């Protein structure tokens, strides 16, 4: 799932409204781990929804206490000023913050060169110690995968797992006879320090896959 598809199909809105099937939901969650814009949209929209629920619940209690007839109005009560004004005021605050603070920062970050910490993971090496990488809080880092050429596979699937064995994301890597190093930028958003594992599965021409290797590494967050 790419960013253009997310925008075109309104995936973020459907995700928050729980209208996606399990496969689409999983694909989108994998996408916004790698897409800062979509991750931001999800956080901001979630915050707006939660605040809206709070405002509407409080106003709903006041309305019910003063006039039980409003309860019978059903969803039309959403259009009443007592409900709509606080919600739209909150929405304007969120939009203003995005336009004047968040988006300019994102644009500046995207247009500025960055030095990212990195480690090399040798995907078929044996008896290698656990490499350690230190990243700044909330910042990305690079995993440089060393994959020896192998004509058995047409592509590979790299999967990142946390210490609890939960998959964080997966990424398809084309097999190549001329390139054996693949740098992967790992988003640092909400990334916890600890032990991680990068698993690599090879995919054959028949579509079969099997695990090629599994390499652990330690992530430390700079204080």
pTM recorded for the entire structure: 0.51
Mean pLDDT of the chain: 76
Q: Count Cα neighbours of 96 within 13 Å in the Cβ-side half-sphere.
A: 6
Domain locations along the chain:
35-111, 118-221
CATH of segment(s) 118-221:
2.60.40.1220
Predicted local distance difference test score (pLDDT) of residue 79: 47
What are residue 140's phi and psi, to 5 degrees? Answer: -75, 165
Instruction: Convert the pLDDT of each residue in 84-126 to its tens digit.
Output: 555 555 555 555 555 555 555 555 555 667 778 999 998 877 6
Residues 28, 38: Cα–Cα separation, whole Å: 9
Instruction: Convert the pLDDT of each residue in 10-62 to its tens digit.
Output: 887 787 777 888 888 888 877 777 776 777 777 766 666 665 655 555 555 55
Predicted local distance difference test score (pLDDT) of residue 72: 47
Predicted local distance difference test score (pLDDT) of residue 174: 87
């Amino acid at each position: 799932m790419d960013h253009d598809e997310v925008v075109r199909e309104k995936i973020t809105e459907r995700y928050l409204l729980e209208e996606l099937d399990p496969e689409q939901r999983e694909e989108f969650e994998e996408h916004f781990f790698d897409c800062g814009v979509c991750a931001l949209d999800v956080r901001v929209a979630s915050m707006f929804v939660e605040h809206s629920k709070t405002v509407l619940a409080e106003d709903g209690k006041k309305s019910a206490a003063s006039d039980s007839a409003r309860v019978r109005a059903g969803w039309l009560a959403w259009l009443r000023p007592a409900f709509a004004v606080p919600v739209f005021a909150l929405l304007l605050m969120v939009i203003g913050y995005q336009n004047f603070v968040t988006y300019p920062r994102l644009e500046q970050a995207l247009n500025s060169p960055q030095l990212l910490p990195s480690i090399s993971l040798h995907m078929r090496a044996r008896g290698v110690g656990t490499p350690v990488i230190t990243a700044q809080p909330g910042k990305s880092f690079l995993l440089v995968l060393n994959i020896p050429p192998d004509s058995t596979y047409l592509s590979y699937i790299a999967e990142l797992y946390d210490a609890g064995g939960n998959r964080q994301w997966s990424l398809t890597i084309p097999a190549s006879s001329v390139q054996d190093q693949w740098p992967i930028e790992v988003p640092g958003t909400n990334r916890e320090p600890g032990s991680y594992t990068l698993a690599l599965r090879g995919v054959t021409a028949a579509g079969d896959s099997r695990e090629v290797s599994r390499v652990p590494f330690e992530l430390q967050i700079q204080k």
